[in-house]
Amino acid sequence: MSASFRFLSLPAELRNEIYKYLLVYRQPIDPWYRCHGLEPNILCTNTKILHEARSILYAENCFELRASKSERIPEFLDTIGPINASHIQCVRIDFPTPREHEDTVSLEEDSLCILEKVQHHCSNLKKNYANAIALADARFREISSLQEIVVEVYEGDPNLDLRKEMESHGWILIVVAEIWSYGSEDDEDVYD
């Protein structure tokens, strides 16, 4: 008769390395795309493993919460729950959409909702990757654990004045290459 293997008998340091192997992805994770090679089902094994491993899943991954699914961001945070969301330390979001009225600029309602959800649920957020501007600075600064705001911008967009405004709020700007995908809506070659 063979002896059984007891995973929880392993030293905690070794279990943590196994959790990292199963639960950490090097690239930002799109929570709506399931093919990351991660094995989150280990969290369902038992309560002890759930408590040990969930902080690794949520704290050591960066979550890609982009505009194409912005209406689902509050749903994602509600689904994972406040305990799991409180472990999140890195999210990437598109910059909130500004609404312009003559002399004033404010944020669209859905943008405010997204920022409020991130602020409320992600209490350990350390970095926030956004895609442009300074209108949300006050909301970001209300996230007490936030240490820096890094904004990814395209070469020449936004304009220089807007970049200066972002930097005046202490935001760090990183120029990234614009990704072009074949067959996108912007790809409108017309042949006669």
Q: Provide the pLDDT confidence category of residue 117 given band limits of 50, 70 and 90.
A: confident
* Other C-beta atoms lying within 10 Å of the C-beta of residue 173: 15
DSSP 153: E
Closest CA to 57 of 34, 32, 35, 89: 89
Please, which residues have CB within 8 angstroms of residue 146's CB and are 6 or more apart in sequence? Answer: 125, 126, 127, 128, 140
| C-alpha span between 1 and 3 (Å, rounded) | 7
| Residue 3 pLDDT greater than 80, yes or no | no
Most confident of 45-49, 91-95, 118-122, 138-142: 45-49
Q: Of 127 and 87, which is predicted with more confidence?
A: 87
Whole-angstrom CA distances from 132 to 76, 96, 138, 158, 164 are: 23, 8, 15, 7, 12
Q: What is the mean pLDDT of residues 136-147?
A: 74
In this prediction, residue 76 carries a pLDDT of 87
In this prediction, residue 130 carries a pLDDT of 42
pTM reported for the whole predicted model = 0.63
Q: What percent of the chain has pLDDT over 90?
A: 26
Report the range of poorest mean pLDDT among 14-28, 71-85, 124-138: 124-138
| C-alpha span between 123 and 86 (Å, rounded) | 5
Please, which residues have CB within 8 angstroms of residue 161's CB and are 6 or more apart in sequence? Answer: none
| Residue 1 pLDDT greater than 60, yes or no | no
Residues 31-76: tens digit of each pLDDT: 888 777 899 999 999 999 999 999 999 999 998 877 556 678 888 8
| C-alpha span between 148 and 176 (Å, rounded) | 18
